[in-house]
Structure 1
């Protein structure tokens, strides 16, 4: 199977990230892509069930049951699928799996000829039994290279890459309220302190003679940086049984909800 970007937990990764119900995106999506027949109103359901329950659990795939060869992709810059793609890869039960990190917007990556050819090679090997070298990627992680530097409020003296989960530990209080929603984002600054953006689609693949100021301020085209959110009362981790994972590994992989 080839899940090129996806969600592994609809509540935790999308409509209720960090235990904060937020259905603005799904309101827009329903308006744009609704068909002629009826469909489930997930926005109304998160208003009805703002906390994780059996309704949301029913929408969570049993990733440990995946046993077939798996070729997944995950992008650094998508606002929707990064967490689900990575966790889906890490939690899948397959013993033959390959994760390819992408450095452009997911739709752009999907249709690049070299990536389509690579996917064909994967299917030819595992579905048709062709000896074309795909087996060398079994149980491995491949990372697309991108030659950019990084500078945050912590100054790096040499070229540095930050890869993996970015945990943030805060000690906060709100004496006038019984709860609070916390949002965090990592922003990249240049040596002069100017905020930088990552452009998800290479300029040479955009129409016309566009410059940076012409690019719309939308996640499809720009990435401001990885972000997280958490309702303070949801800081504890809900445990579920995942065969093959101990408590430490589970807490490292699973977000609060």
Structure 2
């Protein structure tokens, strides 16, 4: 059906649930490295249930679900809302997240939060510089461009952190691109963690046997038009209503949604944004590596000057600002500060 109906129409619209009608209690689990991640978190955010919980972890659903702790927790949820057993489930934090570090290690697990995306998120722009192949805090004054083979090449831009930095939430790539020798281009974007010595640091799932490079997004540039209703500043959503093919020499802006993540970069480590015309992953990764792409000729990324290309990242600071006085929330325990 995707081949028959490549654009949004009544057939696809009929498959979209009305999330607002979901009002039952909900326990939503999602894995940072799983292809069900986007739908799970979107579902959690959109349903109208007043009693809803989100837990986001590093694993795939099967090893996560079948751990004793998680099975007992899920049973407690069902006991409370299917059997009316008053077991204190309501005291469970509304949101809990694992913040990944490297390989099979986490910086923190099941950290309690009050919402997702986190209210204290600071969105920062890291500007692409094709002249130095870097990410910078200020947009380069001089325009530059980088070209790579659409089928076999890629472009990589690096940013080195000067302090430990947590990124939790949604990223997006805003870039100016051009197709040289074709009227379309498929882009696969990956945000990686690189050791200060240049070695890639993946995260691993399935008991450390499957390495995953990092948060990712993808776009067919002819489908770059966004849905104005569904899109937000931190999450661009494609409309898929029409194809906008590229003409020779045409440079267009795009906004690529990158699936949410939660990861710590330590001082000296590098964030690398990689752009290619295909998936670049370990051959043992569970998702298919071979896709029918529409790439011919070269891809060109323009930066600097009038082409302010950037990666927007969600920086998470401490829960409260120590320079400001506590504010008492009278609706909670007296004297408890609002963070």
Q: Compared with structure 1, are the counterparts of its residues 248 and 200 closer, same or farther at alpha carbon in structure 2 (3 Å cutoff)?
A: closer
Match of 1:55 in 2: 11
Match of 2:214 in 1: 225
1:255 to 234, 237, 240: 237
Task: Report the 3-state secondary structure (helix = DSSP H, G, I; strand = E; otherwise coil) of the residue aligned with 1:95.
Answer: coil
RMSD of aligned residue pairs (Cα, Å): 2.4
Q: 1:115, 1:254 → 2: CA distance?
A: 33
Q: 2:16, 2:218 → 1: CA distance?
A: 20
2:195 to 180, 190, 194: 190
Match of 1:206 in 2: none
Q: Compared with structure 1, are the counterparts of its residues 145 and 187 closer, same or farther at alpha carbon in structure 2 (3 Å cutoff)?
A: closer
Q: Compared with structure 1, are the counterparts of its residues 254 and 88 closer, same or farther at alpha carbon in structure 2 (3 Å cutoff)?
A: farther
Match of 2:71 in 1: 116
Q: Which has the larger share of helix?
A: 1
Q: Compared with structure 1, are the counterparts of its residues 161 and 183 closer, same or farther at alpha carbon in structure 2 (3 Å cutoff)?
A: same
Q: Aligned-pair distance for 1:59?
A: 2.1
Task: Report the 3-state secondary structure (helix = DSSP H, G, I; strand = E; otherwise coil) of the residue aligned with 2:55.
Answer: strand
Q: Compared with structure 1, are the counterparts of its residues 173 and 248 closer, same or farther at alpha carbon in structure 2 (3 Å cutoff)?
A: closer
Q: 2:236, 2:26 → 1: CA distance?
A: 21
Q: Compared with structure 1, are the counterparts of its residues 223 and 147 closer, same or farther at alpha carbon in structure 2 (3 Å cutoff)?
A: closer
Matched, 1:173 2:178: yes
Q: 1:188, 1:160 → 2: CA distance?
A: 12
Residues 23-66 of structure 1 show CA distances to partners (whole Å, capped at 9, x for unaligned) of: xxxxxxxxxxxxxxxxxxxxxx1111111212122222221211
Equivalent residue runs for 1:114-153 within 5 Å = 114-137=69-92, 140-144=94-98, 146=100, 148=102, 153=158
Q: Compared with structure 1, are the counterparts of its residues 166 and 142 closer, same or farther at alpha carbon in structure 2 (3 Å cutoff)?
A: same
Q: Aligned-pair distance for 1:238?
A: 2.6
Native 8 Å contact 1:180 1:232 kept in 2? yes
Q: Which has the larger share of strand?
A: 2
Q: 2:216, 2:169 → 1: CA distance?
A: 13
Q: 2:79, 2:53 → 1: CA distance?
A: 15
Q: 2:22, 2:236 → 1: CA distance?
A: 18
Match of 2:162 in 1: 157
TM-score by length of 2: 0.50
Match of 2:225 in 1: 236
Native 8 Å contact 1:87 1:253 kept in 2? no
Q: Compared with structure 1, are the counterparts of its residues 131 and 145 closer, same or farther at alpha carbon in structure 2 (3 Å cutoff)?
A: farther
Residues 2-40 of structure 1 show CA distances to partners (whole Å, capped at 9, x for unaligned) of: xxxxxxxxxxxxxxxxxxxxxxxxxxxxxxxxxxxxxxx
> Structure 2 regions of 5+ residues with no counterpart?
108-156, 241-339
> Structure 1 regions of 5+ residues with no counterpart?
1-44, 204-214, 216-220, 241-246
Q: 2:190, 2:231 → 1: CA distance?
A: 25
Q: 1:222, 1:58 → 2: CA distance?
A: 37
Q: 1:96, 1:86 → 2: CA distance?
A: 15
Match of 1:66 in 2: 22
Native 8 Å contact 2:100 2:203 kept in 1? no
Match of 2:43 in 1: 88
Native 8 Å contact 2:23 2:49 kept in 1? yes
Q: 2:101, 2:185 → 1: CA distance?
A: 39
Q: Aligned-pair distance for 1:175?
A: 5.2
TM-score by length of 1: 0.65
